[in-house]
Amino acid sequence: MNEKKIRREEMSILAIFTLTAFEPSGKKIIDETFEAESETEAKEKGIQLLKEKEVYEKKHRCVSSTGKLILFK
* pTM: predicted TM-score of the whole model, two decimal places: 0.78
The CA-CA-CA angle for residues 37, 30, 61, to 5°, reads 55
Instruction: Quote the pLDDT of residue 8.
Output: 52
Domain ranges of the chain: 2-72
Mean confidence (pLDDT) of the chain: 88
Q: What is the pLDDT of residue 13?
A: 83
- Cα distance between residue 42 and residue 46, in whole Å: 6
pLDDT digit string, tens, across residues 26-39: 999 999 999 999 99
Using 50, 70 and 90 to split pLDDT, how confident is the model at 62? very high
